[in-house]
Chain A
Amino acid sequence: MPANRFNGYSDYGVGIGLRIPHYQHIFDKKPVVDWFEIISENFMVDGGRPLKVLDQILDRYRVVQHGVSMYFGSAEDLNREHLRRLKTLVKRTKTPWLTDHLCWGSVDGTYSHDLLPMPYTFEAAKRTAQKIREARDFLEVPIAVENVSSYAEFHVSEMTEWEFLTEVAEDADCGILLDVNNIYVSSRNHNFNPLDYVENVPHNRVAQIHIAGHSKYEKYILDTHDHPVIDPVWRLYKRAIELVGPTATLLEWDDRIPSFEEVHAEALKAKKHLPQNAAVAS
């Protein structure tokens, strides 16, 4: 299952997010990295250093685009200007698949710049799936949607989060970017068993997996991407790999970013879960 139609039948290994503090190290040392994930919005510009850097990276590395503001779950229509710029970038990077979040974040063209949680209703799933299909048809690249960390639940929800994710993915016929850290964070904030989540999503749709660290507060956990991955999240990752098969994996580290070597070493810990489980994947 590592290569499927939701990740462009690619066979990527373990990557890390491309971040500005690491640029110099990457250009000087040219480290071996399976692939880099870029935040699409940082490169949806007309020129200058961002595109120069990106082209240098593309010369040497495989890149997958990850977005933070498509807002498939917003009730309003997709932003056409956003899609146009995104397609220009897709052509530049030749990303084999593209990811963004299963969330909302804008109303009447006003943007929150946050990943706001969805009400888990059938109608919301239908509207979201419709927008994912529209985006995929326009962008002409497979799309996988990522489960977000959340800190609030809605009275109107009619199903669990993983049922909602399944409903959307099946209706849109899209892939899933399974973020096991987000599952862990939400499970602690909303009192559910994270294994129930991992075991009940459609495994054949998982195009990619995210791992990350988080911050624990007195009454809740926040998805801060500023720590190493904790053991319970590694256990979830291991279980996900058992169920899904070896899958393109990406470590997110976005704040208090340590050296390139430290981030890469943390990501490569995922490899110990990959080879021995490849045989049992079906």
Chain B
Amino acid sequence: MSNTNLDQLQRDMFEVIRQPLTADERMRKRTLDGRPTKEIVERIIKPNDRLTSVERLEIYNRVYWFRILSSLADDFPGLRAVIGQRRFDKLITGYLTDRPSQSFTLRNLGSRLESWLREHPELTPKTERIALDMVRLEWADIDVFDSAELPTMAEADLGKLGEDPVLHLQPYLRLLDLKYPVDDLLLSIRGHLEPETDIASNVVIMEHSDRRREKRVSLPKPKKIYLAVHRQENEVYFKRLQPEAFALLRAIQEGKPLSAAIEVTVNWTNQKVEHITVHLHDWFANWAALGWFCHPES
């Protein structure tokens, strides 16, 4: 077998394993491009005295889907509660079919869910916006959990940076402008969940276990919120911000010098300049106390 043949064998086998399961969680009879699965599988896989070639590869087809579906169900319990189990299953199967994992770690499985969901509002009828907000929050939560942390800068040190400094925010800080108060909703949903497990292990998963944990919730009314998703002592927290504080932090995060960041904020808000300047000291003191300012990466 040449390397080309090894490559072709793996392509053919992976194509079969990756195709979504049928409604009763079996292997499909045809591939997504219409070829008979049985023909492909029998060419590659030997039968034995108990299982046909298709039945043997079906084990891998099921394990593939159960593993990634379970992983996303663990990562996005809020989305599942918002849209319901049936829609959630359909949505994440569609997502994983269109955007299969491009990372060696399951941690990144949901990294492209927000952008994919924006292209598929038909999958979350009547809940498009809150579903999108929930996905953004849940992905930020995953991302903040293990992002880098740089040495913090104390409030006293901020004054030593000169007249118009470029401030640096911690790499783990995420800023979200949301149309629904999904932070409270997610915390409420999490109160009903099982403890976390390891992201990756050798274990073979043979059931789509998260079905047993369905929990429907009452959805909140729209209410614009501005949120910082951040970390303290290695725990992830959600902190609501005043709109102007959010705008200022976002401008700082974009790398604008302080004067330009304040100018952007003033232009962005309907409030008077005084409304911002009166809060500035308290905001900076609070953000410094939370460790959000850091020394830039050398």
Contact = CB atoms under 8 A, between A and B. Distances in A.
Interface string A96-127: 00000000101101111111100101111001
Contacts of B18: 110, 112
A3 interface: no
Interface stretch (A223-231, A259-267, A270-278): A223-231
B56 interface: yes
B44 A114 contact: no
Interface string B197-210: 11111111110000
Interface stretch (A28-36, A153-161, A197-205): A153-161
Given A21-B197, A39-B198, A254-B198, A153 B46 contact: yes
Interface residues of A, number: 64
Contacts of A154: 9, 44-46
B201 A68 contact: yes
A42 B2 contact: no
A5 interface: no
Contacts of A226: 203
Interface residues of B, number: 63
Point out which of B6, B11, B55, B235 has the most chain A C-beta atoms below 10 A from its C-beta. B6
Contacts of B145: 48-49
A112 B61 CA distance: 10
B64 A19 contact: no
B102 A50 contact: no
A46 B64 contact: no
Contacts of A76: 7
A114 B202 CA distance: 8
Given A46-B171, A48-B145, A114-B67, A155 B101 contact: no
A220 B101 contact: no
A76 B148 CA distance: 30
A41 B71 CA distance: 14
B283 interface: no
Interface string B136-166: 0000000011111100000000000000000
A139 interface: no
B6 A47 contact: no
Contacts of B172: 47-48
B6 A224 contact: no
Interface string A43-78: 011111111100000000000000011000011100
Interface string B1-37: 1110111011101100110000000000000000000
A155 B45 contact: yes
Given A151-B59, A222-B206, A75 B3 contact: yes
Contacts of A116: 10, 13-14, 17, 60
A104 B17 CA distance: 13
B250 interface: no
B148 A152 contact: no
B234 A152 contact: no
Given A45-B107, A69-B104, A123-B3, A155 B200 contact: no
B148 A46 contact: yes
B80 interface: no
A110 B145 CA distance: 24
Given A52-B234, A82-B104, A123-B1, 8 more contacts: A19-B198, A48-B147, A76-B7, A109-B102, A112-B17, A154-B9, A223-B202, A254-B198
5 contacts: A41-B104, A47-B171, A109-B102, A219-B55, A220-B59
Interface of A: 17, 19-21, 39, 41-42, 44-52, 68-69, 74-76, 79, 81-82, 104, 106-107, 109-116, 119, 121-124, 127, 149, 151-156, 158, 189-191, 215, 219-220, 222-226, 252, 254-255, 257
